[in-house]
Amino acid sequence: MGIGEFKTPGGLLEIYLSLAGSTIEHIIITGDFFSTTKDINLLESALKWTSARREKIEEHLSEVWRDDIIYGVNVATLTEAIVKAKENLVNI
Protein backbone atom coordinates (compact mmCIF):
# COMPACT_ATOMS: atom_id res chain seq x y z
CA MET A 1 0.00 0.00 0.00
CA GLY A 2 1.27 3.45 -0.87
CA ILE A 3 0.07 6.68 0.65
CA GLY A 4 0.25 10.09 -0.97
CA GLU A 5 -0.68 13.24 0.94
CA PHE A 6 -0.94 16.53 -0.88
CA LYS A 7 -2.02 19.92 0.47
CA THR A 8 -4.29 21.68 -2.03
CA PRO A 9 -6.25 24.96 -2.02
CA GLY A 10 -9.35 22.80 -1.45
CA GLY A 11 -7.90 20.92 1.54
CA LEU A 12 -5.75 17.90 2.29
CA LEU A 13 -5.87 15.19 -0.37
CA GLU A 14 -4.91 11.64 0.66
CA ILE A 15 -4.45 8.76 -1.75
CA TYR A 16 -4.20 5.10 -0.73
CA LEU A 17 -2.97 2.95 -3.58
CA SER A 18 -2.06 -0.66 -4.26
CA LEU A 19 -0.76 -2.07 -7.52
CA ALA A 20 -0.88 -5.39 -9.29
CA GLY A 21 2.32 -5.18 -11.28
CA SER A 22 2.16 -1.76 -12.93
CA THR A 23 -1.67 -1.60 -12.81
CA ILE A 24 -3.76 0.19 -10.20
CA GLU A 25 -5.55 -2.55 -8.27
CA HIS A 26 -7.09 -0.45 -5.47
CA ILE A 27 -7.30 3.29 -4.97
CA ILE A 28 -8.97 5.30 -2.25
CA ILE A 29 -9.27 9.08 -2.55
CA THR A 30 -9.98 10.81 0.75
CA GLY A 31 -9.19 13.96 2.68
CA ASP A 32 -10.80 17.12 4.03
CA PHE A 33 -11.82 18.57 0.66
CA PHE A 34 -15.35 19.18 -0.66
CA SER A 35 -16.79 16.63 -3.09
CA THR A 36 -19.50 13.99 -3.15
CA THR A 37 -19.22 10.27 -2.55
CA LYS A 38 -20.65 9.71 -6.03
CA ASP A 39 -17.92 11.84 -7.65
CA ILE A 40 -15.11 10.23 -5.65
CA ASN A 41 -16.42 6.78 -6.59
CA LEU A 42 -16.48 7.88 -10.24
CA LEU A 43 -12.81 8.92 -10.08
CA GLU A 44 -11.75 5.76 -8.25
CA SER A 45 -13.62 3.58 -10.77
CA ALA A 46 -12.03 5.42 -13.70
CA LEU A 47 -8.58 4.58 -12.34
CA LYS A 48 -9.05 1.00 -11.15
CA TRP A 49 -7.32 -1.58 -13.39
CA THR A 50 -5.52 1.09 -15.44
CA SER A 51 -1.82 1.66 -15.91
CA ALA A 52 -0.11 3.50 -13.06
CA ARG A 53 1.95 5.59 -15.51
CA ARG A 54 1.47 9.35 -15.04
CA GLU A 55 0.20 9.96 -18.57
CA LYS A 56 -2.38 7.14 -18.31
CA ILE A 57 -3.58 8.40 -14.93
CA GLU A 58 -4.07 11.91 -16.39
CA GLU A 59 -5.79 10.46 -19.46
CA HIS A 60 -8.31 8.44 -17.43
CA LEU A 61 -9.00 11.29 -15.02
CA SER A 62 -9.54 13.72 -17.91
CA GLU A 63 -12.17 11.43 -19.40
CA VAL A 64 -14.46 11.85 -16.36
CA TRP A 65 -13.26 15.20 -14.95
CA ARG A 66 -15.47 18.27 -14.71
CA ASP A 67 -14.92 21.60 -12.98
CA ASP A 68 -15.07 21.36 -9.18
CA ILE A 69 -15.54 17.57 -9.09
CA ILE A 70 -13.20 18.06 -6.12
CA TYR A 71 -13.30 21.69 -5.02
CA GLY A 72 -9.88 23.35 -5.31
CA VAL A 73 -8.26 20.38 -7.07
CA ASN A 74 -7.46 19.82 -10.75
CA VAL A 75 -6.36 16.81 -12.78
CA ALA A 76 -2.66 17.67 -12.47
CA THR A 77 -2.84 17.95 -8.67
CA LEU A 78 -4.75 14.70 -8.24
CA THR A 79 -2.35 12.96 -10.61
CA GLU A 80 0.61 14.25 -8.59
CA ALA A 81 -0.91 12.88 -5.36
CA ILE A 82 -1.45 9.48 -7.01
CA VAL A 83 2.12 9.39 -8.34
CA LYS A 84 3.36 10.28 -4.84
CA ALA A 85 1.37 7.34 -3.41
CA LYS A 86 2.93 5.09 -6.06
CA GLU A 87 6.42 6.27 -5.08
CA ASN A 88 5.63 5.54 -1.42
CA LEU A 89 4.52 1.94 -2.01
CA VAL A 90 5.62 -0.50 0.66
CA ASN A 91 5.66 -4.18 -0.20
CA ILE A 92 4.43 -6.37 2.63
* CATH 3.80.10.10 is the classification of domain 2-87: no
- Using a cut of 0.75, tell me whether the model's pTM lies above it: yes
30-71 pLDDT, tens digit per residue, is: 999 888 999 999 999 999 999 999 999 999 999 999 988 999
pLDDT at 89 exceeding the cut of 90: no
- 92: buried, middle or exposed (CB in 10 Å: 19+, 13-18, 0-12)? exposed
Terminal Cα-to-Cα distance of the chain (whole angstroms) = 8
Q: What is the rounded distance in angstroms from the CA atom of residue 10 to the CA atom of residue 86?
A: 22
For 70-84, how does the pLDDT look when each residue is reduced to its tens digit (9 = 90+)? 998 999 999 999 999
- Please state the domain extents for the chain: 2-87
